[in-house]
Amino acid sequence: MTLPLGFRYASIYARIRKVKKDDLALIVSDTTAHAAATFTTNLVQAAPVRLARKHLRTSRGTLRAILVNAGNANCATRTGDAVALETCQALAAHLGVPLDQILPASTGVIGVEMDARKIVRALPGLVRRLSEDRFQDVAEAILTTDLVPKTSFAEISVHGGSVRIAGMTKGSGMIHPRMATTLGFLMTDAAIAPSFLKPMLAAVTELSYNRLTVDGDTSTNDMLLLAANGASGLTLDPESREGFQQALTHVAQDLASQIAKDGEGARKRITIQVSGARTDQDAAQIARAIANSPLVKTAIAGSDANWGRILSAAGYSGATFNPSRVDIALQGMLVCHEGLAAAFSEATLKKQLDAPECFIQFRISGKGTGSARFWSCDLTEGYIRINASYRT
Amino acid sequence: MTLPLGFRYASIYARIRKVKKDDLALIVSDTTAHAAATFTTNLVQAAPVRLARKHLRTSRGTLRAILVNAGNANCATRTGDAVALETCQALAAHLGVPLDQILPASTGVIGVEMDARKIVRALPGLVRRLSEDRFQDVAEAILTTDLVPKTSFAEISVHGGSVRIAGMTKGSGMIHPRMATTLGFLMTDAAIAPSFLKPMLAAVTELSYNRLTVDGDTSTNDMLLLAANGASGLTLDPESREGFQQALTHVAQDLASQIAKDGEGARKRITIQVSGARTDQDAAQIARAIANSPLVKTAIAGSDANWGRILSAAGYSGATFNPSRVDIALQGMLVCHEGLAAAFSEATLKKQLDAPECFIQFRISGKGTGSARFWSCDLTEGYIRINASYRT
């Protein structure tokens, strides 16, 4: 798979995190890219989120570089705004690009002052390393409690040739599906008019990052970014747009579901498919409640076919449906038929639920056509261990 | 402390749960009591919830007996409605009281058929045991994963003498604060006009059971009941009403906070006090988000003063406030001042957070006068262990 043309990547260890592992990363577009982003809806927003939002506004949705650090969220700190600004200014000088074409992003602990000098000092080395083939290095440098890097790629035929999408993301805890969750960067070498970028990203986010939960906690630093630099020389015409958006949705869903798989302490990814609801909205609401229920998540951890908890979670989701029209299947095996226990082999199903992938189907029979897919993970002792001593 | 006059209690083992421990209980009022109840808002409602609601309606808010079983929720079962009706009918015949003055309640596993014969067979023995001093037996018989029984009492001076309140409750998991959570029974020997019972219970619930969370899961079987039989011979006059309601609120808050303390796997009770919000509503919203955050709950489990997670949870609560006006104190020690890290001794605070009671104060400075108190508990490996194999 070829990466999108015209992007370069670099990472370096800037001593922001305690363990020696690259913690500062850079993505550069060789030419000005059109960009759109969705940000956390948390009222408490990290300094880099505020600055990135401002830069996107003043640059009218264009960018040249993304500067990311892991290990410190630069949130709820005295010097946060100054640190974000100063590091972007230093990078702008190094690259010779306008300040507002640089987007900062941070992830890590909240409430600890970040030392701008660590980043400024590391910038020359970081810029020197820029290379078209260090995509994977960046995908690793932006991780925090994640166990594995998360990337996804696509190549799409459009009028006149083909364009490419590459996406990377991080996230494992503080994951809740009401906005772009955690950090995600989507690059493409297609040229896309700014007026299409925003609605396209919104539609893609709704079907991917907004359909994901690990623990129901919404971060202060979330950002999902889409950058289109046109380096392919090809512009998305109206006919190509739908195919491109489908491929982009697929990449974003792939990334979101990788976050679920790598959820803090998770041993199993849970995919929830709701169908037959009144509307897609209703289906998503039901799926979200099931995905967030700690009782469902612990039952799956124990390979326990406790469908009553799934039905109960749907019941308090706020969506309206008739419980006596509900079928629930686990790993394809019917466990609840028309709201009542179905006959199934506990022993067989228990073995199937030991698999690393768990599939919950929640079907409402009748005329409804609303459906939604959601990603979550099981809740294990590992989540507790990781989060009981994150700061110390 | 004297119990309310004119109530009798009994419990027995009816072989509903596997372990031999009383699982069927009865509360009888010797004369007809006025009653009000709040029920779960879950769309999926257990058969006894539906029947209790109907009985309260047709009896015009009067009752003679409450029949409770633990070990089976009688929810999402083929025979649920018939079982609830048949057992109430059998008890009505035994006691010689109208059917609709009997309220059924069930708690336990969802989706498993309940055998009415087990209950009907046990009724003669249960009725024989009725006694004024078996209150504690009933408080024990209604428990499921609870470790300790939960009771609370009050005696209030009113015009002409004194009246008594006795409350009991159960609950440890599937606890979420948007309604009467779990089962709770409040008895008083005051005579209270039916027109006051309902609004009084609603007001009390809002400040007690609706301010409680263990895991954010809302049960299908929740019910909080208030029964006033007037056996004291004293009627609440308008002057006494406020004092009585305060005492009742205190009893209900005591019970709710006991549920938090006995939350599944909990080692610590967390009390959250929010002040300075725009309205009490806003304060409750902030407190609820903090109380529900698994990241806050795991940090407390690890005695980690991670105030960033508390601020972040408040930030996504939906309430509006200025983060730079927020002070946060843990165990009375200031950890966040005006939205930024305060200077405090990590070592000292860590030791203080090892205590079984954790107190989080979230204060917004300014003109706001909204405040709320909320109860939660830490999230530990124990919660996972209990819930990974509840059914099997």
Per residue of chain B (392 residues), give pLDDT as tens. Answer: 789 999 999 999 999 998 999 999 999 999 999 998 888 777 788 899 999 999 999 999 999 999 999 999 898 888 999 999 999 999 999 999 999 999 999 988 888 899 999 999 999 999 999 999 999 999 999 988 778 888 888 898 888 888 999 988 877 666 554 443 467 778 888 888 888 888 888 888 777 776 766 666 666 677 777 888 888 888 888 888 888 888 888 888 888 788 888 888 889 999 999 999 999 999 989 998 898 888 899 999 999 999 988 998 898 888 999 989 999 999 999 999 999 889 999 999 999 999 999 999 999 999 999 999 988 889 888 888 877 876 65
The model's pLDDT over A78-120, given as tens digits with 9 standing for 90+, comes to 899 999 999 999 999 999 999 999 999 998 888 889 999 999 9
pLDDT of residue A392: 53
Strand ordering across the sheet containing A269-277? A340-341, A333-337, A326-330, A357-364, A269-277, A370-377
DSSP label at residue B187: E
Q: Distance (Å, rounded) from C-alpha A379 to C-alpha A263?
A: 9
pLDDT of residue B8: 95
Q: Distance (Å, rounded) from C-alpha B381 to C-alpha A240?
A: 51
Residue B76 CA, chain-centre distance (Å), reads 23
Task: Inform me whether the C-beta atom of residue A288 falls under 8 Å from chain B C-beta atoms.
Answer: no
Per-residue pLDDT for A211 more than 90?
A: no
pLDDT of residue B219: 66
Instruction: Give the residue-averaged pLDDT of A266-287.
Output: 93
Chain B residues whose CB is inside 8 A of the A313 CB are 217
The model's pLDDT over A36-88, given as tens digits with 9 standing for 90+, comes to 888 877 778 889 999 999 999 999 999 999 999 999 989 888 899 999 999 99
Angle made by CA atoms B342, B346, B350, in degrees to the nearest 5? 125
pTM for the whole thing?
0.77
CB nearest B301 (choices: A178, A319, A388): A388
Contact B216 A294 (CB under 8 A): yes
Instruction: Give the residue-averaged pLDDT of A248-258.
Output: 83
CB nearest A389 (choices: B41, B304, B319): B304
pLDDT of residue A183: 75
The model's pLDDT over A334-367, given as tens digits with 9 standing for 90+, comes to 999 999 889 999 999 999 999 999 999 999 999 9
Residue B282 CA, chain-centre distance (Å), reads 22
Report which of A368, A318, A310 is spatially closest to residue A342, judged by C-alpha positions.
Answer: A310
Per-residue pLDDT for A176 more than 60?
A: no
**Residue from B181, B213, B218, B380 carrying the catalytic annotation:** B181
Nearest CA-CA distance, residue B208 and chain A, Å: 20
Chain A residues whose CB is inside 8 A of the B218 CB are 312, 315-316
Residue count of chain B, please give it. 392
Task: Inform me whether the C-beta atom of residue B323 falls under 8 Å from chain A C-beta atoms.
Answer: yes
CA dihedral sign, ordered A343, A347, A349, A353: positive
In which element (H, E) is residue B281 found?
A: helix B280-292
Tokens at B182, concatenated? 């779990």
Contact B223, B180 (CB under 8 A): yes
Q: How far are the Cα atoms of B52, B53, B99, B164, B180 from residue B38, in angstroms, in the given order?
A: 10, 9, 20, 21, 6
Query: What amino acid positions of A are annotated as catalytic residues?
Result: 181
The model's pLDDT over A123-174, given as tens digits with 9 standing for 90+, comes to 999 999 999 999 999 999 998 877 888 888 889 888 888 899 998 887 766 6
pLDDT of residue B181: 43
In which element (H, E) is residue A24 found?
A: strand A24-39
Which residues fall within 8 angstroms of residue A52, CB to CB, at 6 or more apart? Answer: A37, A39, A103, A104, A105, A223
pLDDT of residue A229: 85
Task: Inform me whether the C-beta atom of residue A392 falls under 8 Å from chain B C-beta atoms.
Answer: yes
Q: Distance (Å, rounded) from C-alpha A272 to C-alpha A313?
A: 13
Contact B217 A294 (CB under 8 A): yes
* Average pLDDT value over all residues in chain A: 88
Nearest CA-CA distance, residue B19 and chain A, Å: 20
Q: How far are the Cα atoms of A339, B48, B202 from residue A315, in angstroms, in the given order?
A: 11, 16, 22
Nearest CA-CA distance, residue A172 and chain B, Å: 12
Which residues fall within 8 angstroms of residue A280, CB to CB, at 6 or more apart? Answer: A370, A371, A372
pLDDT of residue B302: 92
Residue type for position B47: A
Q: Which domains does chain B show, CATH number per domain?
A: 7-261 (3.60.70.12), 269-387 (3.10.20.340)
Task: Inform me whether the C-beta atom of residue A343 falls under 8 Å from chain B C-beta atoms.
Answer: no
Q: Distance (Å, rounded) from C-alpha B174 to C-alpha B386?
A: 12
Report which of A121, A124, A132, A145 is spatially closest to residue A214, judged by C-alpha positions.
Answer: A145
Nearest CA-CA distance, residue A376 and chain B, Å: 15
Mapped onto helix, strand or coil, the DSSP state of residue B128 is helix
- Higher-confidence residue of A286 and A192: namely A286
pLDDT of residue B348: 94
